[in-house]
Amino acid sequence: MGAGILLSRIFGLIRQRALGHFLGLSDASDAFNAAFRIPNFLQNLFGEGVLSASFIPVYSRLRAQGRDAEAERLARALIAWLALLVSGIVLVGVLAAAPLTSLIAPGFSGEKHDLTVRMVRILFPGAGLLALSAWCLGVLNSHRRFFLSYSAPVAWNLAIIAALLWPRASSTAAAAAIAAAIGSVVGSALQLLLQVPSTLVLIRGAPRPAVSAQPELRVVVRNFGPAFLGRGVAQISAFIDTLIGSLLGQGAVAGLASAQMIYFLPLSLFGMSISAAELPELSRDAGGGEGAGSRLRARLVAGLSRMAFFVVPSAVALLAFGGIITAALFETGRFSAQDTRYVWALLLGPAVGLLPAAMARLYNSCFYGLHDTSTPLRMSLTRVGVSTILGYVAAVHLPPAIGVEPRYGAVALTGVAGAAGWLEFLLLRNRLERRIGTVRLPAGMPGRLLLASAAGALAGAGADWMLGLDQPVLRALAALVPFGAVYLAATHHLGLNEASTLIRRFGRR
């Protein structure tokens, strides 16, 4: 799963670099990112998160009990009903593109608003296809087939990149944005088609909307409601960020999207991958029987330790070298050095909240395995409520009070979001420990990770200063390679098992 996510994220960064080259942080870039956000709610609501919470635990438990025929029937019925529902929402979204744009991006007007509406209409069908591809992911994950579903987005990224490279696409920033939207729809179809054959083999039959009173389908639907609301709350939070960003001037919405692309890389690789891979196993361990609680605790501690080993240095690297990383990834064409500094500022808040955001995902997976989707919903509501109220005040009212550009209110917005992530993590941990007992990182591990990360940051900063390179990619390599090498050596010296295991694996290869 990690390999698949890494591959797709690498191509995602290439896609974002291409978008930055042709769009920069222009009005067209703001319009594209806002337009992408609006139909993307469909993918997020009916996509991986909701199906992971509602479908995988039931499907995996049926397979663990040897009830394969019932599991296959459940999968066939679910995708048929899901396709009908998603198709209706896509139609409504296309027809209501103009009012949706006015609602989500009230700060857009004139040509910028019209361009956003046009792209919303183009992008909605693609978002529907991506929502359906999440069903394939759920089935494949339950059968422990992770690579295909997590590497399939490579096709989506390649389609957007190819569209941007089309000769007429680069004539203006607006033309490039429209081309990217069309490429997104083509890529969505490719991503779905790549997964369908393997998935149909596993469920041994064609999808059909069974009307029979299948108990397992009722369980999925019952779990679907809170999970749907939970993802809806998270999506509302994303909409609010877009709404507030549209009020902060040119480049704020696009800058937030670029920053998200960077900090989502370690979050996906080390947070989402571990959480998603553990969900079927947690669902089986939570099935009851003697020692279920101890099995869950052991699995969670191991997962949290793996996460922390990779996420802590990732957060330190974003804080110390966020500008270098942003320049290496995006500083080309219309994306300027000033844009780089702006995105680095936007990375500071997410970097501080990176570790709790990753660990909260694993706690959520454990709750889903326990068939409890309401607790993650309540914690998500709390986080979104806090970040929305404080984020609006800090983003809109703080910049004029201290005499800075309005668009730097987005920095306060991401900072509040990072702090709210810590709140959600602590609440989730408290609720889970009430049910299964204490689940914490091994004693002393956080301090050792921070010490090793600080040593790596000093090494990387020293190498950057001594070499004095100007080319962004070479400068990033000069800083990050010593950072990673010193961190790995320091964690091994400090006796962390994760470092020793990683070194042994590299040694064997």
Which tens digits make up the pLDDT trace of 126-184?
Answer: 988 888 888 888 888 778 888 888 888 899 999 999 998 887 666 788 888 899 999 99
CA angle 211, 214, 219 (to 5 degrees): 115
CA distance 37 to 31: 10
Q: Which of 161, 201, 154, 160 is nearest to 183 (CA)?
A: 160
Least confident piece of the model among 68-72, 210-214, 353-357: 210-214
Helix, strand, or coil here: 291?
Answer: coil
Packed helices 445-467 and 472-493: angle between N→C axes, nearest 10 degrees:
140
pLDDT score of 166: 83
Which 8-state DSSP code applies to residue 441? P
Q: In angstroms, what is the C-alpha Rg of the chain?
A: 23
Stronger pLDDT, 47 or 152, i.e. the higher one = 152
Task: Assess whether pLDDT exceeds 90 at residue 122.
Answer: yes
Q: Specify whether the backbone of 89 is left (phi greater than 0), alpha (psi in -120 to 50) or beta.
A: alpha
**Spatial contact of 130 and 80, defined as CB atoms under 8 Å apart:** no
Burial class (CB in 10 A: 0-12, 13-18, 19+), 104: buried
Q: pTM of the predicted model, to two decimals?
A: 0.71
Stronger pLDDT, 40 or 393, i.e. the higher one = 393
Task: Assess whether pLDDT exceeds 80 at residue 230.
Answer: no
pLDDT score of 213: 40
**Spatial contact of 330 and 473, defined as CB atoms under 8 Å apart:** no
478 pLDDT band (50/70/90 cuts)?
very high
Query: HEC string of 327-395?
Result: HHHHCCCCCCHHHHHHHHHHHHHHHHCHHHHHHHHHHHHHHHHCCCCHHHHHHHHHHHHHHHHHHHHHH
Other C-beta atoms closer than 10 Å to the C-beta of 7 total: 17
Task: Assess whether pLDDT exceeds 90 at residue 453.
Answer: yes
